Structure 1
Amino acid sequence: MSAVLHPATKLGAVSLRISDLAQSVRFYTEVVGLRMLRQHGRVAELTADGRETLLTLEEIEGFEESKTRTAGLYHFAILVPDRVSLGLALRNLLAHHISVGQGDHLVSEALYINDPDGNGIEIYADRPRETWKRDAQGEYIMTTDPVDIDGLLALSADKEWNGLPENTVIGHVHFHVSDLHQARAFYCDTLGFELTAHYGGAALFISAGGYHHHIGLNTWAGIGIPNTPRRAAGIESFTILLPSDEELQAVTGRIREAGFTPVQREGAWFVQDPSEIWIRLLVA
């Protein structure tokens, strides 16, 4: 049996490629509710707690629109601590006349939007873990039902929107991939995530520590699609936070054994997945 990630593994900051930094900063601060932490040149770092970077935005020189369906970001998901926070986020989205998708997934309630470059964003709140149900195969039972929008609005009616709460985190990331078997081999057999749900032969949810999913993988955009071009909008990197140096060494060791080459820079280890998305490995 392949080694699995430590159950305390979490996700950290996400980095996106965008076309216009000023436009995206306005969107992510005014509409999404993050705050500016620092800016240097074409790069801005945004935060929820005023201390740690949650999202990095990089304006790409020579930006190009992607003309085809590609492997890469489907959405990244911002996890708020409770339904009141989700209701307040919804109120702010509606106040800015943002088109909002939604889904009650039983384990969570989610709102879906796109940023100005079409990068997908999910803002969601988990239901208590003790309410999550598994099927006979041990996989989490998830679906996409309508969210109780009226309930969220009523719950937050007498509260004031002050941006995303301090304890907001990146909950998961979800990718279009060109080859689901290849993606599963990398993320599960090499990195050590465990399968939590699958949907036919077209989508997998995987996680560490029994979470419903830290990563979603799907071929809904097509099998064999090309990777997202480096000058197009999309995800540049995401962060996996490991609980110890020993766990970091174990993971980078498995990466090397699988024939991938991790590189060290900026105080972290990086490796690219089969879709050429950089994964940043850090000790929390």
Structure 2
Amino acid sequence: MTTETSYALTRPAYVDQSHLVVTDLPLVSSFYQSMLGLKVIEKSASGEVLGVGSTPLLTLTTGRDVRIAPRNAAGLFHTAFLMPSRTELARWLRHAAHNNVALDGASDHLVSEAIYLSDPEGNGIEIYADRPHEQWKFHQDGQVEMATLRLDLQSLYNSAPHDAWNGMADGTAIGHIHLQVGNIPEADTFYRDVLGLKLMAQRPGASFFATGDYHHHIAANVWNSRGAGTRAHGMTGLSDYTLRFNDKASLDKAIAKLDELEIKSEKHNGSVFLRDPWGIGLTLSA
């Protein structure tokens, strides 16, 4: 069965992969496999690459100098795994309920339905499904209408097929990544003005950015991390992530902007690695 590519991934750029640093690799990897249904694609001495089918989504690494990041450090708020359909979201919820997965919350965001939880080291996770793009409402300024309403988990659970759950379905992807940053104006400057993402929504202490009128590929908030400085070397949590461009022209435009502003970056085989103002690594790739 072929799975239609999620709208989020058909935009000019989208989040492709994420990389977390952890203290207990077997424990965290086991959680993402058993509770989220990711499969190990690759193993090395220092880490593992997990994904769906042959598609890598999440890299986990560890090391001797790893130390636990404080809750108010810049870094990850959550990695958001996008299900290819509402049915798959319901199927995952049924699996979670039958395996006593502790949930942190659930919300109806109008554009999507989302369930929140955390891995064993406190890294935030969102599991969500988008509503059809044609149902989204946009304001005159181009921003999208989003809200945080109660999600009827029982109704979602009741809609799940009563079949065996075999892990994350083909087509599952990282729909967006939500960051903790030190301040919002600086985040707006970096993600909107430097990388060229569009500001799609704003909340007190948060901004949501995307390409191609998606609701958000990247979000940034200061809810736990207001005033945070650069991440220290060896901190647990989000090390880096990849923003993949569907067309080379958009990537070239972003790279030209980095060069124009003399932002430090490393070019390698057509990709560019840089760090945001809080030291979170970011690879721009075609």
| RMSD of aligned Cα (Å) | 1.7
Q: What corresponds to 1:130 in structure 2?
A: 134
Deviation at 1:136, TM superposition (A): 4.5
1:51-66 → structure 2 map (5 Å cutoff):
51-66=54-69
Q: Which one of 107, 115, 119 corresponds to residue 115 of structure 1?
A: 119
CA contact (8 A) 2:12 2:250 kept: no
Name which of 18, 21, 25 aligns with 1:17. 21
Moved more, 80-89 or 226-235: 226-235
* Residues 228 and 234 in structure 1, CA contact (< 8 A), matched pair in contact too: no
Structure 1, unpaired ranges of 5+: 1-5
Q: Are 1:219 and 2:222 counterparts?
A: yes
Q: Give 1:182's aligned amino acid.
A: E
* From 69, 74, 87, the counterpart of 1:71: 74
Distance 1:7 1:81 in 2: 15
Q: Normalised by the size of structure 2, how large is the TM-score?
A: 0.91
Deviations 1:65-105 (A, max 9, x none): 23451111100100001111111111222233222111110
2-structure distance, mates of 1:45, 1:7:
25
Aligned to 1:255: 258
Pick the aligned partner of 2:284 from 261, 268, 281: 281
Structure 1 residue 217: deviation in Å?
1.1
Aligned with residue 199 of structure 1, among 193, 196, 203: 203
Equivalenced residues, count: 276
In 2, the alpha carbon distance for the partners of 1:208 and 1:99 equals: 33
| Residue of structure 2 in register with 1:244 after alignment | 247
Query: More displaced, 274-283 or 91-100?
Result: 91-100
- When structure 1 is superposed on structure 2, of 90-99 and 9-18 the one drifting more is 90-99
Pick one of 168, 171, 187 that aligns with 1:183: 187
The 2-side partners of 1:191 and 1:267 are apart by: 16
- Structure 2 residue aligned with 1:3: none
Identity score, percent: 33
TM-fit CA distance, 1:20: 1.3
- 2:262 partner letter: G
Structure 2 residue runs of 5 or longer lacking an equivalent are 1-9
CA contact (8 A) 1:15 1:55 kept: yes
Amino acid aligned to 1:176: Q
What TM-score results when the alignment is normalised by the length of structure 1? 0.92
Cα deviation for residue 266 of structure 1 reads 7.1
Structure 1 residue runs of 4 or more that deviate by more than 3 Å after TM superposition: 135-138
Maintained 8 Å contact 1:119/1:233: no
Indicate which of 75, 90, 93 corresponds to 1:90.
93
